[in-house]
Amino acid sequence: MSATYELKAEVREQVGKGSAREVRRNGKVPAVIYGEKQPPLAIALSYKDVYYKIHGGGFLTTIATIDVGGQKISVLPKDFQLDPVRDFPMHVDFLRVSKDTEVNVFVPVHFTNEDKSPGLKRGGTLNIVRHEVEFHCPANAIPEFITVDLADADIGDSIHISAVKLPDGVKPVIADRDFTIATIAGSAAARSEEETTGEAGA
């Protein structure tokens, strides 16, 4: 799980498009905190803080604390909108979380031991089917990423979710099949080499 962080916020008395534009003109980002059977809370956050958190990676998988006038609320960012041209943060939705909250969240996939893979050594190609996998897990135990070990992966192999060691309480949202995360495909050079070896053996 990524390290948590804190953001300071102000309550927005007005909501709606006009209010949101006014917030942005003042160098802040409009946001809403919802969930835990409480009414939504409209807030405004520092533009700089939000920009660096969004573009720093792991934004949607990291629990944050929002300080609203001294009241500290634990949240998980659930969605955000960026300006389509300038990449500026336009709005953020936060979900209130507690020790019992469980969430669905997309977690990045990391690959290790590519240099040890027999298939990649012979010129094969790693085809990544899923760069992220959606998991159901406790909000306070979201993995920063999952790791796929390629040390034994050969040409023609498929790596499925069942081959990945997952932390306790972390379960794939897709539960009805052992889906593929990546495959090792043979390159033209590798296939040519195999065919040549086969002909020589014959």
185-199, pLDDT tens digit by residue? 987 554 555 555 555
Q: Tens of pLDDT along 8-36?
A: 999 987 777 777 888 888 889 999 999 98
Record the tokens describing residue 136, joined without a space: 């159901």
Alpha helices in the chain (DSSP H): 17-25, 47-55, 118-121, 188-201
CB 75 within 8 A of CB 64: yes
Q: What's residue 90's pLDDT?
A: 93
Q: Tell me the backbone φ, ψ of residue 174, rounded to 5 degrees.
A: -80, 105
The predicted-structure confidence for 32-60, as pLDDT tens digits, reads as follows: 999 988 999 999 999 999 999 999 888 99
- Separation CA 64–CA 46 (nearest Å): 14
pTM here is: 0.78
For 138-175, what is each residue's pLDDT tens digit? 998 899 899 999 999 999 999 999 999 999 999 999 99
By DSSP bridging, strand 146-149 and strand 102-112 are parallel
- 100 — phi, psi (to 5°)? -100, -5
- Residue 2: its pLDDT value, please? 59
Q: What is the pLDDT of residue 159?
A: 96
Beta strands at 5-11 and 171-172: parallel, antiparallel or unpaired: unpaired
The pLDDT tens digits of the residues spanning 106-122 come to 999 999 999 999 999 99
Q: What is residue 13's predicted lDDT score, i.e. its pLDDT?
A: 78
Residue with tokens 């955000």, as numbered in its chain:
80
CA–CA gap between residue 162 and residue 177 (Å, rounded): 10
The pLDDT, as a whole number, for residue 1 is: 55
Q: Which domains does the chain have, with CATH numbers?
A: 5-98 (2.40.240.10), 103-201 (2.170.120.20)
Structure tokens at 152: 């034994």
Write down the pLDDT at residue 4: 84
**Bridge partners (DSSP) listed for residue 89:** 82
Residues 7 and 47: beta-carbon distance below 8 Å: no
What is the pLDDT confidence band of residue 177, given thresholds at 50, 70 and 90?
A: very high
The answer to whether the CB of 73 falls within 8 A of the CB of 144 is no
pLDDT, tens digit, 9 for 90 and up, residues 74-107: 999 999 999 888 888 999 999 999 888 999 999 9
Beta pairing partners, 111: 148
Tell me how far apart the alpha carbons of residues 1 and 61 are, in angstroms, rounded to a whole number.
8
pLDDT of residue 12: 86
Position 89, amino acid: P
pLDDT score at 196: 52
